[in-house]
Structure 1
Amino acid sequence: MKIRKEVLDIYKAVHTWTGIVAGLALFIAFYAGALTVFKHDLAAWVAAPMHDTRPVDLHDAGRLMEETLRARPDAAEDLTLTLRATDAQPAQLSWQSPDGARQYLANFDASGQLAINEREPTAVADLIDNLHRTAGFVPGSVEAGILVIGFIAMMYGLALISGLIILLPSLVKDLFALRPGKNLKLMWKDAHNALGFFSLPFHLVIALTTVVFAFHDQIYDTQDVFIYEGAMMDQWTMPAPRVQVPSLAAKAGGPPAAQGTQLVPPALMLADLRELSPGFEPHYMDYHDLDSERPSVRIHGVDPNYMMRYDAFAIMHPYTGEMINASYLPGYTDGWTSWLTVFFALHFATFGGAAVQWIYFLLAIAGAFLFYSGNLLWIESRRRRAQNKGLPEQKTSVRVMSALTVGVCLGCIAGVSASLVAGKWLHGSVASLNTWHVIVYYAVFFLSIAWAFLRGASRGAVELLWLCAAATAAIPLTSLIGWLAPATGLWANPSSAARGVDVGALAGAACLAWMAQATRRRQRHGQPDSVWALARA
């Protein structure tokens, strides 16, 4: 395929500058996004062991909630009955303080009396999720950070399309080429092109869905003006399609049930959902505003046979058992909710089970490398070559971008690992552990950037890679210490999820150590005029 040179030059400029501006933020978003696929496993690894993990008997759950609400009326605003225990959350009744700093868990003790325990919940999964959604922009303001990442996603989409157009003329010749050797620019170009082309459908989906998520309010406002003529709110207030609850079928056609003062037994509501959606596996029941005029219970779960948002759910009335909204219950989605569900599922890998999750994880890690290699390609394309007079002084732009690429990318990796490890080492020693998760991440991140500028990209790359390897290796090492010496206050969760985190971290640390050694060899034996050469450092 032939494209005129002046046209290609335009697309190369678009691809270069959109990629450079967006690349570092996208590295953070993709690396954190890969980890969010297994964020519940990470939360399980950090979670401190509990003394009482006995599950609530589902047949006693109604009485437990009644007694809990009498003892703690403040729990009526948001009360969760966990049905499927994890390492981070036992199958008990729980609620949090208004600031989210404390979590309370209720169950019956051995004598049948109400027992309420208190602990600090782990929010490390929320930190990683926010990094994915915002790339760490505007700490403390997730909404503002999401808007920033929305604009970056637009540039990301432009970079994808322009990159494809640039590749088309040499697609057949260069697609399967990977030419390692002294020509670093050619090697990075081959790797960048192959990764970008073969993962293009995935990247297009991520770019499109990110823009929709970031600007959904603005999209709704535009629809309100041009489509609904200011009457869009009427669409939101329309009642959801009515779904008849099996246990109330005998009362169908009669007057609406009056709200009583006694909660419908959870076992009865779950039995109704089982009959309505046989493949739906409930995980927890989230009760809201039980002391208000509009109480509700949102029953969350999964069904591997359907695409879901973050998960599937149905909203029911906790005092009458009526279905309030079944639009996101598997088998009952239709119209706009079907399209919305597809958008969420394609972005968050909430379909297809573990196989799809691993595919998304690997694609996200490859995506992070795609942006990293794009920056390296830009640097190699603009460095000054050695002449007879000796090593040239590199451009300021090349030196700055080299240090930023090293500091931002490696600072993100080291910061996430250090924040996870801090969850165990600082447990019980600080007033707010969740605040320290954020402090540790940003401290390591910004110090890594400063170190890259102070030491230069060459030395900084090797040293920060060893920091990443050490911080990541500290994850399984911490578990090992907790297992061998529990008197230290550390612990090792025995679950398969927590062990999976240890094994994954060990493999990641080995890869980072290998990269540090390879970078060191490149320093010593690579081209002396490169920004990565030891002579340049």
Structure 2
Amino acid sequence: MQRSTLKAWFLVHKWTSLVCTLFLLLLCVTGLPLVFWEEISHLTGAEAEVAPAPPGMQAANVDDLVTKALAQYPGDVPLFFGWDDHSPSVYVNTGARPDTPPPEMHTAVMHQYTGEVLPVAQFNEGVMYFLYRLHTDVFVGLPGMLFLGAMALLFAVAIVSGLVLYGPFMRKLSFGTLRTGRSRRLAWLDLHNVLGIVTLGWAFVVGITGAINTLAQPLEQAWQSEQLGEFARRYEGRPRPERLASLDAAIATARAAEPGMTPAFVSFPGTGYSGDHHYGVFMHGDTPLTERLYRPVLIDAETGELTARPQLPGYMTTLLLSQPLHFGDYGGLPLKFLWALLDLLTIAVLVSGLYLWFKRGSTDTRIAEIERSGLPENGLAHARNAGAAS
């Protein structure tokens, strides 16, 4: 690789890494407990144990469950109704108005068969929710999401530029070499090299899926405008219905329309997911992949009749698949432990990169030393100073 090309890639890697490192550390540290959100909720009692369904007992009427949830929060309106795929429990989100944002919602969790209201903490309260907001939008909403998405993209550029530089910088050393007997900085550099290349593929995937996830709100709004807008125009000028048809019957209609799928959640009119005049019954499959891919069934909320079964566009499918891939929650506890280990190794890469930056020398000196002596330097490091090694 020519000196000018080497220096260009070096500078790209250095500055993209430096700009995003502190924010990536924030994301890695907050993301670690989020991988185990469900398990932590069980251990802390934030998520109640749900008794198995009594043998032969039919599930409770959904309309009765919604009524019971509304009784918990007088004055609220129903927003979402959903099922837990791993226990016989359901949840109802309510709010003061149909467009209530998630931080202001109330949640009632009930046994799907007995109708018992379960003593669980609100999803938008507590330490885990604090970490979730810090991880996703640093408490400033969409601008925070987009900013963190930009940092994730810079991280991806840093990874690619580091991979380009890795070959020339490591050509004279065996993979995994740690030179501990020469200088502290050189030992840190070798450790940074090894951990960086080991976690490279995972870090790139998590960085890209994280960037995609930050676009969730704009993508959902685009889908609502593109597809739901078509159905909303049919009801233009008509007020939102005050008396709603049976939700239980609407769900039965959706099940009949998609017999190979089961309902995941239902959106009520006005929430943005199904327009102002429809229930949106979002169906999904029962495999680790298909349970993430929703098929909306729109039911007229006034008449209970099936209106449409719109296909999700490709960008929404990409979003839905990137979410579980980002947190590693589609393969059970073993995959979560793997995600956690890789997260810790990535934290080590970032910390070692900062150390190398503070112990840096000039760029020209470092590149000249690499070219002259053939000593390996890692493109994944934030600072290179082979000349400092003695």
Judging changes above 3 Å, is the alpha-carbon distance between structure 1 residues 271 and 359 closer, same or farther for their aligned structure 2 residues?
same
Residue 296 (structure 1) aligns with:
279
Residue 483 (structure 1) aligns with:
none
- Residue 26 of structure 1, CA deviation: 0.3
- Distance in 1, Cα, partners of 2:51 & 2:291: 29
Q: Which has the higher helix share?
A: 1
Residue 7 (structure 1) aligns with:
5
Larger deviation, residues 37-46 vs 337-346:
337-346
> For residue 68 of structure 1, what is the amino acid of its counterpart?
K
Residue 466 (structure 1) aligns with:
none
Residue 129 (structure 2) aligns with:
126
Question: What's the CA shift string for 1:391-417, capped at 9, x where partnerless?
Answer: xxxxxxxxxxxxxxxxxxxxxxxxxxx
- Residue 186 of structure 1, CA deviation: 1.6
**Higher relative CO (CA 8 A, sep ≥ 6), structure 1 or 2?**
2
Matched length = 334
Q: What does 1:75-474 correspond to in 2, within 5 Å?
A: 76-84=77-85, 91-92=89-90, 94-96=92-94, 98=96, 100=104, 103-105=107-109, 120-122=121-123, 123=125, 124-134=127-137, 136=138, 140-174=139-173, 175-181=175-181, 183-214=183-214, 233-234=225-226, 237-238=229-230, 261-265=245-249, 268=252, 272=256, 275-277=259-261, 285-289=265-269, 294-299=277-282, 303-306=286-289, 309=292, 312=294, 314-317=296-299, 320=304, 322=306, 324-325=308-309, 327=311, 335-349=314-328, 351-381=330-360
- Distance in 2, Cα, partners of 1:49 & 1:162: 43
Question: What's the CA shift string for 1:202-245, capped at 9, x where partnerless?
Answer: 23333333444445788999xx9xxxxxxx95566357xxxxxx
1:77 partner SS: strand
- Residue 61 of structure 1, CA deviation: 2.5
- Residue 320 of structure 1, CA deviation: 3.0
In the alignment, is the contact (CA less than 8 A) between 1:316 and 1:325 conserved in 2? yes
In the alignment, is the contact (CA less than 8 A) between 1:27 and 1:368 conserved in 2? yes
- Distance in 2, Cα, partners of 1:109 & 1:154: 46
- Residue 374 of structure 1, CA deviation: 0.8
Judging changes above 3 Å, is the alpha-carbon distance between structure 1 residues 289 and 69 closer, same or farther for their aligned structure 2 residues?
farther
- Distance in 2, Cα, partners of 1:51 & 1:342: 29
Judging changes above 3 Å, is the alpha-carbon distance between structure 1 residues 343 and 97 closer, same or farther for their aligned structure 2 residues?
closer
1:80 partner SS: strand
Q: What does 1:453-532 correspond to in 2, within 5 Å?
A: none
Of 21, 28, 33, the residue aligned with 2:26 is: 28
- Residue 58 of structure 1, CA deviation: 4.5
In the alignment, is the contact (CA less than 8 A) between 2:35 and 2:329 conserved in 1? no
- Distance in 1, Cα, partners of 2:70 & 2:159: 57
Q: What is the TM-score normalised by the length of structure 2? A: 0.66
Judging changes above 3 Å, is the alpha-carbon distance between structure 1 residues 143 and 275 closer, same or farther for their aligned structure 2 residues?
same
Q: What is the TM-score normalised by the length of structure 1? A: 0.50
In the alignment, is the contact (CA less than 8 A) between 2:48 and 2:119 conserved in 1? no
Residue 527 (structure 1) aligns with:
none
In the alignment, is the contact (CA less than 8 A) between 2:12 and 2:161 conserved in 1? yes
Judging changes above 3 Å, is the alpha-carbon distance between structure 1 residues 186 and 52 closer, same or farther for their aligned structure 2 residues?
closer
- Residue 371 of structure 1, CA deviation: 1.0
In the alignment, is the contact (CA less than 8 A) between 1:79 and 1:287 conserved in 2? yes
Question: What's the CA shift string for 1:73-118, capped at 9, x where partnerless?
Answer: 74542253545566xxx725544454647544567999xxx87677
- Distance in 2, Cα, partners of 1:22 & 1:379: 16
- Distance in 2, Cα, partners of 1:29 & 1:187: 26
2:187 partner SS: helix
Gaps of 5+ in 1: 225-231, 240-258, 329-333, 384-537
- Distance in 1, Cα, partners of 2:53 & 2:149: 42
- Residue 295 of structure 1, CA deviation: 3.6
Output the aligned Cα RMSD.
4.5
Identity of aligned residues (%): 18
